[in-house]
Each structure stands twice: as C-alpha cells, then as structure tokens.
Amino acid sequence: MTLKCTHQPAVPGLRDLREFEKALAGRRSKWGNLGQHFDRRQPIVVARAPGRLDCMGGIADYSGSLVCELPLAEAALVAVQKREDDRLIVHSANAASEGLAATVELSSAELRRRKRFKPYDALQRQLATDPSAAWAAYLVGAFPVLQTEGATAGFAGGANIAVASDVPLGAGVSSSAAIEVAAMRAVCGAYDIELEGLELARLCQLVENRLVGAPCGIMDQMTSALGANDSLLVILCQPHRVLANLQIPPGWKFFGINSKVKHAVGGSKYTDTRTAAFMGHKIVAAQMQRARVTPAEYVPLGDYLCNLSPREFGALYRDLLPTKMTGAEFLKRYGDTVDPITSPDPAKTYQVRTRTEHPIFENARVQQFIQDLGISYRTLSTVFAKDAGELMYGSHWSYGNRCGMGSPETDVIVKLVKERGGNLLGAKITGGGSGGTVAVLGLGNCEKDVEWVAKQYLKKTGVTPDVFVGSSPGAVQFGVAKYRLT
C-alpha cells in the first residue's frame, strides 16, 4: 500500500504528521496500521490540533476572565474519508490502551430524524449508551453540530475516521479539545466547508458541551484551533475574543509536568465549582438591581463575574455572599443562573463565596501576568519573570483553597519547584484542576532543574511524570493535508 500526498499542509514536516503518514501507509508505526480503515476510492483529509498548557486563567474562563494558553508540541491527528453508504466507522489508535473499544461503528441514519440530526440532548444520550464507545462522540459530533448550526445543509453518506493522539487523556492539557478540533477541521476539509477560526472553536465547544456533556469553557478549543508556535494565546472569554498571540519573551520557558492523576472536566468537583460561581454571579446581579446603581468607575457586571475588580467585589459584595448555600434555597430565592450548561442541584450544598472569589482575583492576576510578559519582551529584561512566577503560585493557591480543586500530587510538584528555586520561578495547577498537569515557568538553562523536579516527584510518589516541552501551531495555521491510497 502506498500513500500519495496530493495537498501539503501549510505547516509541513512535523514529527507526528510523519508518524501518522506511516500509519496510514501501513508501514511500521507506533500507531499501528491505520491504512486498513480506508480505501482507494476517495481522498483522505488529515487535520492536526495540539493540546494546550494553561499558563494562567484556567477555570476562570467561564466567568469571563482573560486567559493565557500555550499550544503544546503534543497533538491529535484525525483522518476523514467519505463513504457512499451511511456508515460512520471511527477507529482510535489510543482507545484500546485505555480499556475502550478501538473501533466504533454507527449508522448516520440512526442519528437522524428524516434528513435532520436529532436534537443534541437525544444524541448525547444515544452516543453515551455504550461507555466503551462513548469516546466516538468527540469525533462524530462534528456532523450534527455542523448541520444544526447552519454550516452545511447536510451530509450525503457516511465516513471512515481515524484518530491518533500524543496528548495524554486526563492530564489537564485538553486532549478532548485537540481531538474535537482536529476532527471538525478534517470533516470540514473533506466536505469543503469553510469555517473561520473562532467559529471552528465555538462549534467544537458545542460538541463537548452538548454531545459529550462536559461543561467546559471555550479556551481549550480556541487554543487548539488558533494558537501559534512559541506564543501565548491571550483570550478574553466574553464569550471568546482573541486579544493576541504573544510571543514568549527571550529566556522565558514554559513546561508541563503531568502528575498522572487523571481529572475530568465533566467531574462533580469542576461542575460544582462552576455552578457555585454562577450562583455568586446571580446574587451579585440581584444586589446591583436592588441598589439600582453601579458606581461610575466600575464596569457593568453583565453575564461575567470577571467584570468586577477585586476592589469592587471586596468593598461592595463579598460579605453579602453566603459561604454556603443549598441549591434548593438558591433556586427558591433567585431562580436559575445565566449559565446555559449547569444548573444548581437542589440536593447539593455549594461553597458560593470562595468559588465566586476565585475568578475575580484570577482575572486580576492574569492582567498583571500579561503586563509582566509584555514588558519583559520589549525590554529583554528577565526581572518581570519573577513577578509572573509569583502570580502563578498565587493562582495555584487559589485553585486549592478557594475552589477545592487542587490535589496532593500537584501540590508536591509545586512545592518541589519552589524548593529548587533558582531558574524555576513559578508553578500552578492547570485547566480543570483536581490532578492533571502543573505549568512551570523557568528562565534560561532550566531544563536540568525541571528534570530534578521530575526525579524527586518519582521518589516521593513512585510515579514517573510526563514532562511537556515545546510548542506547535494550532489547527488553523496547520491547514489540512490530503492523501490517496494507491
């Protein structure tokens, strides 16, 4: 079997793309023989999307914070080929190692009512019926979302789909977004659908929110789609506006150290933290309405907690928030929140005050972090990197103490970074917290310092951590590659 490239991606020569090409050609590859899942009658379209390292901002994204995200060197690659029948056959090179079904076969007709796909909630239930095959929703979800959201009138036939990824699952570096973005980009390439980058990210978020059922914000999908090599993507999550791709200043280096404690954005801690923050938002909004006045120097609240400054929050609203509140009491007094993804559970008790505080103070930290980065880049001074590192430590503390979303293992990594000091300036838990990866900021020749932290973590926990080094372009910059089997 021979693989012939008929269209080069805009960013050729990436190591994982070469490995994926070998797998498609049936040659020896760490991803096995992916070519057996395709035929010679139709072109194969391949897209690539990286994972991301959450350097600052994290779970404040759903509250309208600024975030700073780095696209990683690790990425997911997805190949899509049209079929003439209505079968959707999805193969993963990674699923079997996670104890999941390696191949999932669906009928597109079973996902439709007449010529339209079923409503999102019905599809979510249907795609989750078999837990070992539920991962396929991240990929096949592109089809109903593209049609439902008006990007295409519909799809004729089915598709062969294969995915292989270097982004580890549950590591807090957005393996799900990488797969969603690569799948959506490949489907669009196969069916000649044009999507602007922000719309690509938005539709991928819908796949995760509405078809997978995980209440994530949009920063992961935006970074995977719109990130640039060796740059921090700065996003204002109101709801999704790219402010800049800021090049990392000379001498600054970001690493990820994976604790190997798996987390899930769909988990109860993340969902409860998000829900409590939106409860706090509703209570503050109600207080503003009662007062019928917003001081002139303050920005109106709108739908986002992060429009409050720490000073305004502390002076006017913090003490009005309950430390704890049941979902039943909240719903009785205030009705539902403005969050379209979560709603208070009447039977649960939520930590409202601290969960509301976190995004407000995190947004202020990100603002200062961006200033430090910009000044350092313009002046070539490394002085401001120390302040940026302290901001990362502050973010980590808040994750654990305000949100209850830290973990003993990530705390060990952060303590080791502090203990090592020297060229290591800051560290924080990332993304959805509760395990996963710690982002580390270093200066100069700090690779040996990171190696020391990894070795000490192994000694203390018996677990060998993954270390993420380097960056790569997002899916939009990559483009698509096209092949034929001959």
Render pLDDT for 259-279 as a digit per residue (tens, 0 to 9).
999 865 556 888 999 999 999
- Residue 293 confidence class, pLDDT cut points 50, 70, 90: low
Architecture of the domain made up of 3-52+72-232+472-485: 2-Layer Sandwich (3.30)
CA 79/CA 189 separation, integer angstroms: 10
**Domain boundaries along the sequence of the chain:** 3-52+72-232+472-485
Write the DSSP assignment of 151-177 as a string of letters: S-S---S-EEEEEEE-S-TTSSS-HHH
Taking Cα atoms as reference points, which of 137, 119, 300 lies closest to residue 214?
137
| Tokens matching residue 377 | 């880049």
pLDDT 10s digits, 86-126: 999 999 999 999 999 999 999 999 999 888 999 999 999 99
Residue 412: predicted pLDDT: 98
Q: Which long-range contacts (CB under 8 A, 24 or more apart) does 116-119 make?
A: 116/147, 116/148, 116/154, 117/143, 117/144, 117/147, 117/148, 118/144
Phi, psi of 420 (to 5 degrees): -70, -45
pLDDT 10s digits, 119-156: 999 999 999 999 999 999 999 999 999 999 999 988 98
Which entry of 54, 61, 166, 220 is annotated as an active-site residue?
Answer: 220
Taking Cα atoms as reference points, which of 111, 110, 113, 94 lies closest to residue 102?
94
pLDDT 10s digits, 7-46: 999 998 899 999 999 999 999 999 999 999 999 989 999 9
pLDDT, mean over the chain = 94
CA 58/CA 73 separation, integer angstroms: 19
- Residue 388 confidence class, pLDDT cut points 50, 70, 90: very high
CA 462/CA 395 separation, integer angstroms: 27
Cα within 13 Å of Cα(360), Cβ side: 23
Residue 166 falls in the annotated catalytic set = no
- Residue 297 confidence class, pLDDT cut points 50, 70, 90: low
The predicted model scores a pTM of: 0.93
Q: Quick check: 109 and 118 in contact, CB under 8 A?
A: no
